[in-house]
């Protein structure tokens, strides 16, 4: 493995994860090297039939790191970051770019320039998805933007862009983020608050070659990974609801009064929900402060839900049986937003453990 990169251009290198690349990969490296840009590429288990392409990349002066088997784009990016940290090049940052020809040299240089203007920020090259864009790409990115805004409260115009400027100060944190495939890039955005990294977005061209047939993104599997946070929250809420109802029925069967069974079931299921959300959904470890905030939210949600159920059912048990579903659905969304912003938000995580 060649570990002698050419001098970096303006303190920024380019990192390219590559899995079974074509000539677009070589053309991109050629143009970057002609400008004196330091290029690092990761062969993510492409196989022996692609050895010649990576040999050409080395001959052009790129550093080529190799995974013996395919481990995913996220893993390839982290391998590149760790190698850059170990090499200790005098770089201010690195720009990640895809190997399939979607990112032009001009756009890569624009991201590099934005990094120099905003040191310490994560710079995204964002597309506007105008013109001839494959429907699945337009729809998928739109849904992901909405989910990301729901999860974080941050408006990001292109959550799936692979053209990113990563500041050197954040390399260590970024190299430790979980996720080995496409979900890694979403996890990176989800961790921005935790690592105190501002987000900068600059427009780039929207390019899809051959209707994006060269993409290795799996619309079902990789989308599920990307949406995992909101899905985990839904699963946590569903499990807590099931536990709440089961405990309620058991206590009633044991002869408890209705109000007592209802109250104890809510306390136990609420404790379960807090534990799941803190340790599984939001990955925080807030202490007594988080517990107090969650308890206040839980009590408010219980009071509002009971009051709305009473108002809209007007004491009619038949209406009361079905009115709970829309009320709880609305409270589910509001509860998620409140937990994200107030209970498990990073700015509150100085609570004693």
| DSSP assignment of 129-161 | --SS--HHHHHHHHHHHHHHHHHHS---S-TT-
More confident residue, 334 or 116: 116
State yes or no: pLDDT of 77 exceeds 80.
yes
Q: Which of 75-89, 181-195, 233-247 has the highest mean pLDDT?
A: 75-89
Q: What is the dotted CATH code of the domain comprising 12-226?
A: 3.90.550.10
Q: Which of 20-34, 180-194, 327-341 has the highest mean pLDDT?
A: 20-34
CA–CA dist 252, 260 (Å, integer): 9
Give 85-123 pLDDT, tens digit per residue: 999 778 889 999 999 888 999 999 999 999 999 989 999
Give 182-227 pLDDT, tens digit per residue: 788 888 887 786 677 899 999 998 775 454 444 544 545 556 666 6
- pTM score, whole prediction: 0.66
Where along the chain do its domains lie?
12-226, 229-348
State yes or no: pLDDT of 252 exceeds 50.
yes
Distances (CA, A) of 143 to 65, 133, 240: 34, 15, 27
- Buried/exposed 282-316: b ≥16 CB within 10 Å, e otherwise: bebebeeebeebbeebbeebbeeeeebeeeebeee
């Amino acid at each position: 493995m060649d570990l002698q990169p050419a001098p970096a251009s303006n303190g920024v290198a380019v990192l390219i994860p590559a899995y079974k690349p074509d000539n677009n990969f070589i053309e991109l490296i050629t143009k970057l090297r002609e400008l004196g840009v330091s290029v690092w590429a990761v062969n993510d288990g492409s196989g022996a039939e692609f050895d010649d392409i990576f040999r050409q990349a080395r001959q052009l002066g790129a550093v080529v790191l190799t995974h013996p088997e395919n481990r995913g784009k996220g893993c390839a990016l982290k391998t590149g970051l760790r190698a850059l940290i170990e090499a200790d090049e005098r770089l201010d940052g690195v720009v990640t770019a895809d190997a399939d020809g979607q990112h032009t040299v001009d756009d890569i240089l624009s991201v590099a320039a934005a990094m120099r203007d905003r040191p310490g920020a994560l710079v995204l090259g964002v597309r506007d998805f105008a013109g001839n864009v494959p429907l699945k790409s337009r729809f998928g990115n739109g849904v992901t933007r909405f989910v990301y805004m729901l999860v974080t409260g941050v408006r990001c115009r292109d959550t799936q862009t692979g053209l990113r400027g990563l500041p050197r100060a954040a390399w260590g944190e970024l190299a430790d983020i979980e996720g080995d495939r496409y979900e890694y890039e979403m996890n990176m955005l989800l961790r921005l608050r935790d690592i105190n990294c501002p987000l900068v977005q600059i427009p780039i061209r929207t390019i899809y070659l051959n209707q994006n047939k060269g993409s290795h993104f799996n619309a079902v599997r990789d989308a599920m990974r990307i949406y995992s946070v909101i899905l985990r929250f839904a699963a946590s809420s569903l499990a807590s609801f099931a536990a709440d109802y089961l405990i309620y029925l058991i206590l009633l069967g044991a002869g408890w009064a209705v109000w007592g069974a209802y109250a104890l079931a809510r306390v136990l299921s609420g404790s379960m929900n807090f534990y799941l959300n803190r340790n599984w959904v939001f990955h925080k470890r807030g202490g007594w402060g988080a517990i107090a905030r969650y308890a206040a939210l839980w009590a408010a949600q219980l009071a509002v839900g009971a009051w709305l159920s009473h108002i809209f059912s007007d004491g009619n048990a038949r209406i009361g049986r079905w009115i709970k579903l829309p009320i709880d659905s609305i409270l589910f969304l509001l509860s998620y937003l409140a937990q994200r912003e107030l209970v498990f938000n990073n700015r509150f995580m100085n609570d004693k453990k």
